[in-house]
């Protein structure tokens, strides 16, 4: 016999799953989220202290309306949870004028009338002396960008969902799910659960959960590093922004040292090691990744040491086009899916949760999500 029955079960309680659970509970829908671990945790994609949030989206301008709604929701969630989640410290983005980042930023900013400042390398050196800018690169500064406190966001969503009557069923591994005449049965390590509808937001685990649609997902293990700083101009309290560099060496991003120390956080956006769903606690550093990070620091940032303070790994779940899978499960309007966020999804968590709740409640959403439909990969 099933342990419990719900209107909606959410498979996965990371950034997007926790946001969806909150949206469901706020609407009075009897819902629960299942997670293999105890969220927020370090085994998936929603951890590591911070994530960048920005609006002038170089990846694709179609994301901008979703970001604008997400900004509204993050502020609402901060007020409702009485937590400081979004920190508007700004973001500098550096790259060649014929690269990927700068043309994409300028295109999105022009299309949606977003406020950004554009500087030559010489101008940027005067404004941001803690960074090194190649003379043939251009710099943009987005004032309304910044960072989200990632674990705090997940904790806030879950706490507010529970306040509205939702349940969080932690330390529970989903083995399989299926449909019968009465709804959906989800078999787990702690028993069976039933629901009329499902939301699948399993992060890297979605590769297994979505086998029925042959979703072309690849999970990558990525590294995050923190280094001691020798220059106070790299501290958030001194006005240091987040940063994103594009160069012939790759894409590198990071954050100023936050209040409380722990150093400057930096990582490479690109590459990564193929990961298969074993869920081993493999947090070991990769010497080659660390070498690339330290070479970037040598080239690009002044006043940061080579003394490591902290290291963590996280998971990117990639689609072939690096755009999300978001929409109804192909052929079934009672299941909504969010997967393949491709390393740039957490800033959207609030609005993705809203979209998923719309889809299972109404069968559609007014949010502009058609370009992310899972049907583009269905076979």
Nearest CA to 341 among 370, 356, 321, 355? 321
Residue range 222-247: average pLDDT?
A: 97
Return the DSSP state at 270. S
Fold classified for 89-146+218-318: D-Amino Acid Oxidase; Chain A, domain 2 (3.30.9)
Question: In degrees rounded to 5, what are phi and psi of residue 100?
Answer: -95, -45
| pLDDT over 90 at 145, yes or no | yes
Whole-number Å distance between alpha carbons of 52 and 104:
17
Token reading at 211: 């086998």
User: Which residue ranges make up each domain of the chain?
Assistant: 4-47+151-216+321-376, 89-146+218-318
pLDDT tens for each residue of 82-93: 999 999 999 999
State the pLDDT at residue 172: 97
Residue 82 CB neighbours (<10 A): 7
Whole-number Å distance between alpha carbons of 143 and 89:
7
Whole-number Å distance between alpha carbons of 67 and 349:
10
> Hey, what long-range contacts does 37-41 have (CB within 8 A, 24 or more apart)?
37/170, 37/171, 38/170, 38/171, 39/13, 39/14, 39/154, 39/155, 39/158, 39/168, 39/170, 40/14, 40/150, 40/151, 40/154, 40/155, 40/158
Tell me the three state secondary structure of residue 111. Answer: helix
| pLDDT over 60 at 312, yes or no | yes
State the pLDDT at residue 307: 96
| pLDDT over 70 at 379, yes or no | no
Whole-number Å distance between alpha carbons of 99 and 111:
19
Active site residues: 47, 50-51, 265, 269, 314, 347
Q: What is the CATH number of domain 4-47+151-216+321-376?
A: 3.50.50.60
Instruction: Give residue 200's Cα distance to chain centre.
Output: 16
Give me the helices (H) in the chain, please.
Answer: 15-26, 64-81, 101-112, 121-127, 150-163, 206-209, 287-300, 349-362
| pLDDT over 80 at 378, yes or no | no
pLDDT tens for each residue of 164-174: 999 999 999 99
* Category of 250 on φ-ψ map: left (φ > 0), alpha (ψ -120 to 50) or beta: left
């Amino acid at each position: 016999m099933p342990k419990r029955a719900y209107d909606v079960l959410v498979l996965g309680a990371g950034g997007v799953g926790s946001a969806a659970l909150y949206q469901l509970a706020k609407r009075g829908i009897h819902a629960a989220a299942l997670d293999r671990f105890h969220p927020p945790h370090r085994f998936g994609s929603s951890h590591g202290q911070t994530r960048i949030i920005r609006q002038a989206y170089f990846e694709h301008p179609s994301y901008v309306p979703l970001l604008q709604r997400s900004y509204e929701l993050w502020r609402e969630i901060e007020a409702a949870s009485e937590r400081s989640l979004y920190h508007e410290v700004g973001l500098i983005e550096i790259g060649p004028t014929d690269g990927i980042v700068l043309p994409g930023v300028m295109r999105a900013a022009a299309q949606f009338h977003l406020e950004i400042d554009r500087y030559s390398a010489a101008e940027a050196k005067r404004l941001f002396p803690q960074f090194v800018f190649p003379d043939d690169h251009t710099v943009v500064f987005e004032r309304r960008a910044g960072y989200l406190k990632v674990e705090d966001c997940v904790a806030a969503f879950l706490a507010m969902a529970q306040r509205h009557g939702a349940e969080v069923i932690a330390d529970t591994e989903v083995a399989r799910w299926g449909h019968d005449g009465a709804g959906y049965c989800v078999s787990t390590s702690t028993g069976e659960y039933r629901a009329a509808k499902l939301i699948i937001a399993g992060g890297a685990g979605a590769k297994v959960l979505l086998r029925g649609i042959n979703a072309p997902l690849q999970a990558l293990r990525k590294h995050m590093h923190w280094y001691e700083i020798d220059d106070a101009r790299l501290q958030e309290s001194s006005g240091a922004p987040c940063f994103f560099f594009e160069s012939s060496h790759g894409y590198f991003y990071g954050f100023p040292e936050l209040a409380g120390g722990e150093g400057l956080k930096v990582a490479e956006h690109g590459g990564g090691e193929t990961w298969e769903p074993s869920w081993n606690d493999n947090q070991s550093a990769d010497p080659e990744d660390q070498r690339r990070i330290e070479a970037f620091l040598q080239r690009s940032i002044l006043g940061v040491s080579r003394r490591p303070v902290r290291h963590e790994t996280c998971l990117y779940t990639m689609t072939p086009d690096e755009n999300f899978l978001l929409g109804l499960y192909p052929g079934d309007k009672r299941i909504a899916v969010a997967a393949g966020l491709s390393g740039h999804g957490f800033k959207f968590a609030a609005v993705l949760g809203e979209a998923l709740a719309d889809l299972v409640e109404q069968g559609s959403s007014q949010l502009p999500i058609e370009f992310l439909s899972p049907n583009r990969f269905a076979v």
